[in-house]
Amino acid sequence: MSTRTAWTVYTILRLVFFAVPFTILYFALGWSWWLAAVIATIIAFSLSIIFLSRQRETASESIHDWRQRTRTADDIIEDDAVDEASLRQRAEPDAGEPASDTDQPR
């Protein structure tokens, strides 16, 4: 499936997943518009999680590819260095921090 097709299908189905429950709740059952919108949103979210994983994955990959296309070798090296420093800091959270008064024996 092409990226454009995946985005189109994903967008249209997300709109349909919201519009159909909203229409039923608001017009057919006479619920207030805000309650119908909240419930329709929950239904649409649930249906999209269940049924649109392939389209969501394709759309996500296209966003990743789009963001990566302008990266230079310098950007990649810099990002790797930042990631490594972040991992090192998480592994040693107290490194470089002065001891507080409560850490000193009395």
Q: 3-class secondary structure for the chain?
A: CCHHHHHHHHHHHHHHHHHHHHHHHHHHCCCCHHHHHHHHHHHHHHHHHHHCHHHHHHHHHHHHHHHHCCCCHHHHHHHHHHHHHHHHHHHCCCCCCCCCHHHCCC
pLDDT at 25: 97
Tokens read off for 75: 């950007």
Closest CA to 52 of 22, 20, 21, 8: 8
pLDDT at 40: 98
Q: Domain residue spans in the chain?
A: 3-91
Q: What angle (nearest 5°) sits at the alpha carbon of residue 55, between those of residues 34 and 5?
A: 105
Task: Per-residue pLDDT tens, the chain, 106 aa: give them.
Answer: 677 888 888 899 999 999 999 999 999 999 999 999 999 999 999 999 999 988 888 888 888 888 888 888 888 888 889 989 888 888 886 655 555 555 555 5
